Amino acid sequence: MALGPRLDLRQSQQLVMTPQLQQAIKLLQLNNIELTAFVAEELERNPLLENGEERSVADDPGDQSQEAEAPELKAADTALNQTETPDSPLDADYEDNVYNHDGPSDNIGSEAGLGLNGNSRIEGGGGSFNGQDQAFDATLSEAESLQDHLLAQMGCMFDLPQDILIASHLIDLVDDSGYIAQQDFDDVPERLGCEREDAERIIGQLQTMDPVGICARSLSECLRIQQRERDRLDPIMDKFLNNLDLLGRGDLAALKRICQISQEDLSDMIKEIQELNPKPGLAFGGETAQTVVPDIYIKRNAQGVWHVELNSATLPKVLISQRYYAELKTGAKDEKAKEFLSECLADANWLVKALDQRAKTIVRVATELVRQQEAFFNHGVRHLKPLNLRAIAEEIDMHESTVSRVTSNKYLSCNRGVYELKYFFTSAISSSTGEADHSAEAVRDRIRSLIEDETLDNILSDDAIVDILKREEIDIARRTVAKYREAMRIPSSVQRRRAKKMAS
């Protein structure tokens, strides 16, 4: 065969991920609060976008844009997963809808579409419940921080510049609970070039500040400072505080032997310690607790249908001003201005479509999730079913990674409380009779309830819990019970028995 240059024609197809398509995929990960921040940036950047809350569509019906045709995104989903791209895509194609506070108009999980048996059915939709105001108070005043409180007291305690430097550095090391880690304190002399004796002297002075017990390096030191302030730090109490680990293990006999006290004296000392504050710093400052704002509301209507709706109170409202676009287009003289205006219009159309499609995708996933976990919404956590992402994805014809994105960092509000969407995806515990599997979360709840119902005369070991669960047709190993118990921070049966004896 002769060797030489040649020309060949080949026809192939490939998916090109545009920046806008990638951004549309990423929008699924954002919750409503994060989405509002993203839209706010777009409103500042794009002059053709308007805040829908400031001007409703009804005020100027001729000022809405006609949206450009958007590409199909289903193929992008598969391509991203094949190339192991970290950002998974958005399933479903766009429709020509302007996104506003009412959300998608189609009833995705309607009664007819789902066809659930009985009176408890599910229907999907966007928007909010009529007359239901879900806004929350965001006008909290900022509390004084712990560091500010300590620095204000430090100002009148030290005169020498080197003392002020050491004291300021130590205050910076104080955590939210009011402690300074021992390792951090040990590093102070080398970090500041001072003597350890100076650091010890300064921290001793700081420990006299308010709140009592502040700047301690251990729980024992914190309680010792408080007892000294109460004039209750005698040698026996000092021995008691030096052996708090024995109290934590419930070894009261060893504690009595070391302190050389009676059972009555030991009980009095324990009650005295329980009156102290082990975390004095928590009374000051820290970050303001953030209220969880649900992205989705689940409510049963008068017909017994579970209704799925987006929280429109936190959804951004976006409009495209066609009138402003026409004015700018008329005044645009050079090619660069016209090109910029065209890009702004394309970006604005894309954002409206992406927000609309995001809303519909979330409602579809949430509707199917509620349908599959209907028993939970009707009867509680004991009836939570084992569920994975694939089961949802197959039912609504989406990719598993898309469902994962939709359910990440989003919360659902129902009559039983507020739950993260990920909460409803749990592993399965086999049934001992071969019937339907049990949800791991439901099993954990059962273990918790069994332990909460214990009495001093009936403390359940892990083996005893296994026997009870097996009688309830839950096939579970002892090590699994121990793992669940430890994950819920429930002590062992021995520790629980000691704690109940101390309480009694």
User: For residue range 359-373, what is the model confidence (pLDDT) as tens digits?
Assistant: 999 999 999 999 999
Confidence band, pLDDT 50/70/90 cuts, at residue 127: very low
- Residue 282 amino acid letter: L
In a domain, 191, yes or no: yes
* Residue ranges making up the domain that contains 453: 428-503
Residue 443: which of 461, 463, 470, 408 has the closest Cα? 470
- Residue 215 amino acid letter: C
**Separation in Å, CA 284 to CA 182, 185, 211, 219:** 22, 22, 9, 18
DSSP string, 88-112: ----S---S----TT---S-TT-HH
Calpha distance 271→249 (Å, rounded):
17
Query: Which of residues 434 and 211 earns the better pLDDT score?
Result: 211
| The predicted structure's pLDDT at residue 117 | 37
Given 225, 256, 283, the domain boundary residue is: 283
Calpha distance 97→453 (Å, rounded):
55
| The predicted structure's pLDDT at residue 57 | 40
Residue 51: which of 342, 315, 340 has the closest Cα? 315
Average pLDDT over residues 274-278: 90
| The predicted structure's pLDDT at residue 253 | 86
Hey, is 321 helix, strand or coil?
Answer: coil
* β pairing state of 296-300 and 411-414: parallel
In a domain, 200, yes or no: yes
Length of the chain: 504
Show the tokens assigned to 323.
């009138």
Based on its alpha-carbon atoms, the radius of gyration of the chain, rounded to whole angstroms, reads 32
Residue 45 pLDDT > 70: yes
Residues 6+ apart with CB under 8 A from 97: 67, 104, 105, 353, 356
In a domain, 483, yes or no: yes
For residue 442, the domain's CATH number is: 1.10.10
pTM, full prediction: 0.58
Calpha distance 72→323 (Å, rounded):
29
In a domain, 255, yes or no: yes
Range in 286-295, 389-398, 466-475 with the lowest mean pLDDT: 286-295
Number of Cβ within 10 Å of residue 255's Cβ equals: 21
Q: What is the pLDDT of residues 412-423, one digit of tens each?
A: 999 888 999 999
Residue 60 pLDDT > 60: no
In a domain, 73, yes or no: no
In a domain, 45, yes or no: no
Average pLDDT over residues 297-303: 87
Hey, is 32 helix, strand or coil?
Answer: helix
Q: Are 27 and 87 in contact (CB under 8 A)?
A: no
| The predicted structure's pLDDT at residue 122 | 47
Confidence band, pLDDT 50/70/90 cuts, at residue 67: very low
In a domain, 44, yes or no: no
Given 283, 318, 336, the domain boundary residue is: 283
| The predicted structure's pLDDT at residue 240 | 92
Query: Which of residues 322 and 85 earns the better pLDDT score?
Result: 322
Phi and psi at residue 458, to the nearest 5°: -140, 70
| The predicted structure's pLDDT at residue 441 | 87
Sheet holding 296-300, edge to edge: 121-124, 305-310, 296-300, 411-414, 417-420
Q: Are 440 and 426 in contact (CB under 8 A)?
A: yes
Given 252, 283, 314, the domain boundary residue is: 283
Confidence band, pLDDT 50/70/90 cuts, at residue 203: very high
Average pLDDT over residues 353-382: 90
Average pLDDT over residues 157-166: 90
- How many domains does the chain contain in total? 2
| The predicted structure's pLDDT at residue 225 | 94
Residue 473 pLDDT > 90: no
